[in-house]
Amino acid sequence: MIRDLAELLVTKPRAKGFGLAARLAVPLTLILLSLLAAIVRKDSSTLFYAFSLAFTSGLIAYNSGLARLLKGVQLILLFILLGLLINVLALATGLTPISIENVLTGALRLSAIAFAAILLFQWVGIEEWVYLFSSTGADGFAKILALSMIQLPLTLRAFSEALLSVRIKYGGKYFTRILNPLLLHAMSTARSVSETLLIYGTPAPVKTRLLSGRDILLYAGVSAIALSLLV
């Protein structure tokens, strides 16, 4: 599951059909609206989350294929499902005043945010992030970002390996100890990739077209989803 999620978090060539502005604005708007809806509209935004989820799922499936989407999001859905189960269990035992509607809306909201974030990873390439941050003078941050993003799939795989090894080692106890090997792994990898940055140079900033005719479809979709908040 972790490996499949890792595959979802890399840039997809199909994304280049849209302008950079739309590729940035659409997922970020959906994430912001989801957060805003949680604060302002509390639990009456189910329709918005459902539309947002359907929209982002469709786009991710267009980028990666439906099978990859379903495999990749298993882990996220599993976490959400666990949260849902805990809440339902608490509700049944009278431990929490949260209603089942709230629980379901919360699960939908989390999914909507996670899917929009995946879209952001798939739509904006490393060299485009470098271009964006370098053009604002944040060259150092651009390097760190490039370094982190490029190693993300391999780091997720290491996470999967550490999870398995530590769980078996301690018979399911001391689960939080997994953080130590992961921290060391991240530090060692970061130094190695820093070597790579020095030898090969930071990925050259690529200035891609900001706008494309096809962007209208995306903006129309997001506007329609945003309108559902008013319903």
Partner 1 sequence: MSSNVAVELEDLWARYSGGEWVLKGLNLIVHKGESVLVVGATGSGKTTLARVLNGTAGPIYGVEVKGSYKVNGVEALGLDPFSLGLKIHVVSQNPYIHFLNFILEDDYRDYARKVYGERFEKQVVEKTLTRFNLRELRNCYFFNLSGGQARRAATGKALIPDPEVLVFDEPFMWLDDKGVDEFLDMLHLLKRLGKTIIVFEHRFNRVIRFFDKVFALRNGRIEEADLTALFRTAARKTLRTTLAQQSDRGGLGEVVLKLENVSFGYNEPVLNNTSLELRRGEGVAIIGLNGTGKTTLLKLITGYLKPWKGRVDVKGRFIYIPQLIHLFYTEGSLREEAVRLCESYGGGEACVQEALKALLKEGLNPDKPPSKLSHGQMVKAAVLLASRTVKPDLILLDEPFSGLTYVDRFNLVRLLSETPSAKLLTTSSREFTSLLNNWRLMVLENGGLKPAKALEKPLNAVFSIELAKLLIGVEE
Binding flag, residue 16, partner 1 (CB under 8 A): no
Show the binding pattern over residues 125-154: x = contacts partner 1 (CB under 8 A), - = does not: xxx------------------x---xx-xx
Span of 24-32, 101-109, 111-119, 120-128 interacting with partner 1 by CB under 8 A: 120-128
Backbone torsion region of residue 172, taken as left when φ is above 0, otherwise alpha when ψ lies between -120 and 50, otherwise beta: left
CB closer to partner 1 out of 42 and 209: 209
- CB burial readout 51-61, b (16+ within 10 A) else e: bbbebbbebbe
- Fill in the amino acid letter for 15: A
Cβ density class 133-171: b for 16+ within 10 Å, e for less: bbeeeeeeebbebbbebbbebebbebbbebeeebeeeee
Shortest Å distance, C-beta 205 to partner 1: 10
Does residue 119 interact with partner 1 by CB under 8 A?
A: no
7 versus 101: smaller Cβ distance to partner 1: 7
Applying CB under 8 A, which part among 26-34, 103-111, 133-141, 192-200 lies near partner 1? 192-200
Kindly state whether residue 213 participates in binding partner 1, applying the rule CB under 8 A: no
In whole angstroms, the minimum distance from the beta carbon of 123 to partner 1 comes to 13
Q: Taking CB under 8 A as the rule, does residue 8 contact partner 1?
A: no
Among the listed ranges 30-38, 94-102, 132-140, 181-189, the one in contact with partner 1 (CB under 8 A) is 181-189
Cα distance between residue 129 and residue 204, in whole Å: 10
Helix boundaries (H) for the chain = 2-8, 20-36, 46-64, 66-72, 74-92, 100-123, 126-135, 139-169, 179-200, 215-227
In whole angstroms, give the CA distance from residue 15 to residue 22.
10
196 scored as a contact of partner 1 (CB under 8 A)? yes
Q: By the criterion CB under 8 A, which residues form the site for partner 1?
A: 6-7, 10-11, 13, 67, 125-127, 146, 150-151, 153-154, 157-158, 161-162, 164-166, 168-171, 173-174, 177-178, 180-182, 184-185, 188-189, 191-204
